[in-house]
Amino acid sequence: MQKQATLWIRTAIIMAALVLCASGAFGEEKQTPESDWASKMIKLEHINPSSVYDLFRRLPGNLQTDSELGLMVVYGPPSTLEFVEEAVKQLDVPSVRPAQSKNRNVEITAWLVGAGRAGDSGSDVAPLLRPVIGQLQERFPYQGYRLLETTTLRLRSRTRSREPSRISGLIPDLAVEGASPASYEFSVYLNAIQSTSSGHTISADYVWLEAKIPVRTSAGSLNYSQIQIQTQMALPAGKTVVVGKAGVQGVVDGIFLVLQANIVD
């Protein structure tokens, strides 16, 4: 888009310069007898002849264009023919179009990691997450971490839909007897993939997690707690990133949303 805008600006500057030159060239020229006028047919290869008609229509003589054949026929004094021919040489050039990146498949893996003030991190935690959990232990007052759920969402990098991609599921580790299963919905709207000196960055305008978790109160009644994590961010491809945190009192002290995005095509 930036290159296209630059092309239009360049064309406008050329056209303005040509108009000024034409004003100077023809304003002081002695009138050429019509008997000395001539005609010239000019073939345009890259632009529509009608698109430059307004530039030349005030010159002495007559101008006819044929967009279907890409032709311009100029009739007028030699100065008009020379001016139009020179102007067309500058304007009739190939367009510079911005390179379009192809559609890419992006795979986003999401981990829901539960944290508590007591207990040890279980062996069920994926080796990929252990460095992340080590960092969390340094920053938060939780000792025990466990993997609650893993899900994967695949989406396209250049889709016309403004709707985010969604996936939903259950969280068996947070089940309560006699209650509906704990459930979640994970949504992402992908914006773009950007190349950097260190790799690719996957930009997401919308990252959203919502979970509905059953809670048994001390009185024995059953309630449901809803948690949400919502943000927008740039994910370095292949890096594991902690996106946000929520918690449910009486069930789990902290739930961390951890993401990793990868280009898979």
Domain residue ranges in the chain: 2-91, 105-263
95: confidence class by pLDDT, cuts 50, 70, 90 = low
Neighbours of 255 (CB within 10 A): 25
Asked if 104 contacts 92 with a C-beta cutoff of 8 angstroms, the reply is: no
8: confidence class by pLDDT, cuts 50, 70, 90 = very low
Asked if 260 contacts 131 with a C-beta cutoff of 8 angstroms, the reply is: no
DSSP 8-state class, residue 180: P
Question: Within a 13 Å sphere around the CA of 30, how many CA atoms are in the beta-carbon half?
Answer: 2
Distance CA 6, CA 13 (A): 11
At 166 the pLDDT is 93
Distance CA 192, CA 101 (A): 10
pLDDT at 206 over 60: yes
Taking Cα atoms as reference points, which of 158, 160, 228 lies closest to residue 193? 158
57: confidence class by pLDDT, cuts 50, 70, 90 = confident
* Percent of the chain whose pLDDT exceeds 70: 81
pLDDT at 123 over 70: no
pTM of the model: 0.60
4: confidence class by pLDDT, cuts 50, 70, 90 = very low
CATH code for the part of the protein at 2-91: 3.30.1370.120
pLDDT at 14 over 60: no
At 9 the pLDDT is 44
Strand order in the sheet with 222-236: 165-170, 183-196, 199-216, 222-236
